[in-house]
Amino acid sequence: MQWIAPSEKDISTDTLENRLWAAADQLRANSGLTSAQYSTPVLGLIFLRFADTRFAKRRATLEKAAASSRRGSRMDDPAAYNAEGVLYLTPNARFDKLLHLPEGSNAGKAINEAMRDIEKHNPQLAGVLPKTYEIFTGTLLKELLKRVSEIPATIDYDAFGRIYEYFLGEFARTEGQKGGEFYTPSSIVRLLVEVLEPYHGRILDPACGSGGMFVQSARFVAEHKRGGTLNPPPSPSGRGRGEGAQHGRRAGDEGAPVYSGDPSRELSIHGQEKVADTVKLCRMNLAMHGLEGDIKEAITYYEDLHQACAPSPDASRHPLPLGEGRGEGHEANRHHGRFDFVLANPPFNVNAVDKERLEAEVGKGRRYPFGLPRTDNGNYLWIQLFYSALNEKGRAGFVMANSASDARSSEQEIRKQLIEARTVDAIVAVGPNMFYTVTLPCTLWFFDKGKQRTPRADKILFLDARHIYRQVDRAHRDWTEGQIGFLANIVRLYRGEEPGFTLGGPDAESKLKEVFGKKLKFADVPGLCKAATIKEIEAQGWSLNPGRYVGVAPGADVSDEDFKEQLEALNEELETLNTQARGLEQTIACNVVEILEL
């Protein structure tokens, strides 16, 4: 199926973030600084503007309260700010003070001291904020402060977050390969989140980069809170809406959990990241969105600092309000992890992992339950880490190299075990040019340990989204909100859930009805989706390549990409048959020799 939305240039407007980026990028071009030197300090100034706006509003509230109280003023008490999730700023750390520094003053030194002051009075940011402003000229810093001051103090906090995310994405694009290490395009992340539906629970990203998975999860929670009830509502399984009577209850119905819609209350955020500077970027990004998380520096292959694979020491003492995502019997089942959700975009095809260091973590109930691949490739190490971190009703969504879907030998055996565990729920093929750093297509994998007790236990959904995109520019593509909503709702229909159009609205709904009919019931659609049985998958050599199952729509031309995949599949089948033929030939020859020797 093909759905190409109008290009970004056709629909873009002169937004605030566009103007700010254009100005900031022009200043960098004339500064002699590299993008890597420039990016984090600029993000720090946006962060400071955001913090100052929230501080000023809270200070005004405290000032008003002091005027009518006999207890004295709390305007200069950091605790009065922190209690409301607001950062306390000393006079020297306030944006207006820095914006109006006297002529001849050392702006770089002043901003560095402001950042240190913020960290001192807000311990959750200790060691996080940038302090390299003295490499900037005074003129450049004053221009940057002036540009950032154009962000109105009246805009809402979500708008600040969008500006910060926009700058993160643009810096990732300009930094090329290095940018891909800390940033996943937002449309990819939003589809992952829409399919997982993380309303409430523990969430882990073991390769968290700048924290985009957490930010989009929080956005999902906030967007789906409407007028005291969740829309669409969660189910006792943690997320679903359908699949049996118990899955159709709405928030507020008897026995159904009711969630606040406040991400800071509903999500317990945990992440690991190997690069220290990226850990700081992540923590600053969370703070920009009013979130906190336990973000640790670690190489995830070797270190499980969040004890993701170990079940909770006491399932009855959950750190969040009790929800259904953990599942009953979680404590008793030692072969499940601690997390309700895992989201990740791990590095692809990593080699030189020291497997000797992993041997103690191999086996049932451990981090690598299906064994270590013999090939020098980390893909199936990551895949097992995601699987082992999930509790018995947990869901995972992650980006993976296309090669993992058809990998042979020991990787094929691991994939077979994953499929037979009835955990793989959906596989989505994504076309090329969706990432800033690579042009190659990729695949999105979705796990759901809760599906084992549903009618779809012996099925996997394959979805071909390679020809669904918006052309942003010559080299880049993304998905519109309508396209994301459309794809996510195909998964919901497959699960037996009611569709939801909070994201995508009329665009998603009209396209869904066009493809599946007005009654919106799932069906296999050639060229778009197919729910394949495990027997069908076994017949395909345990392949998780959507192209092998979805096929081509009637009357549609076979694209170069489709032809290549079909040719590869036929070639693999030929190699298998040739191997079997050589084995039979050898057996026959041996039998003939034995007969002749009689």
CA-CA distance, 296 to 115, in Å (whole number)? Answer: 21
Q: Are 306 and 338 in contact (CB under 8 A)?
A: yes
200 and 267 Cβ atoms separated by less than 8 Å: yes
Q: How far, in Å, are 13, 387, 509 from residue 482 at the CA level?
A: 18, 30, 8
Tens digit of pLDDT for each residue in 552-590? 876 556 556 656 655 665 665 576 677 778 878 888 988
The whole-number pLDDT of residue 311 equals 63
Please report where in the chains the tokens 């962060």 appear, as a residue: 47
Q: Provide the pLDDT for residue 435.
A: 83
Q: How many CA atoms lie within 13 A of 375 on its CB side?
A: 17
pLDDT computed for residue 171 by the predictor: 83
Residue-wise pLDDT for 239-296, tens only, equals 433 333 223 333 333 444 667 778 888 999 999 999 898 899 899 888 888 788 999 9
285 beta partners: none
Count other C-beta atoms under 10 Å from residue 346's C-beta: 22
Which tokens in the block code for residue 106?
Answer: 């050392």
User: Which token pair is 305?
Assistant: 């600092």
| 386 and 398 Cβ atoms separated by less than 8 Å | yes
What is the per-residue pLDDT for 562? 58
At residue 181, the pLDDT reads 57
Mean pLDDT by 10 residues, the chain (598 residues): 75 65 85 85 92 92 82 84 86 95 94 95 90 92 92 76 80 64 81 96 95 93 63 42 32 52 90 92 86 94 93 43 34 68 94 94 95 94 98 96 94 97 97 81 96 95 96 87 97 96 94 95 97 97 95 67 61 67 86 84
Q: In whole angstroms, how far apart are CA 212 and each of 161, 190, 288, 448?
A: 11, 9, 12, 21
What is the torsional sign of CA 223, 227, 230, 231?
negative
Nearest to 383 by CA among 392, 396, 394, 393: 396
What is Dmax (Cα atoms) for the chain? 113
As a three-state string, the secondary structure of 3-15 is: EEECCHHHHCCCC
Ramachandran region of residue 209, left (φ > 0), alpha (ψ -120 to 50) or beta?
A: left
Judge whether 185 and 250 are in contact, CB under 8 Å: no
- pLDDT at position 262 is 83
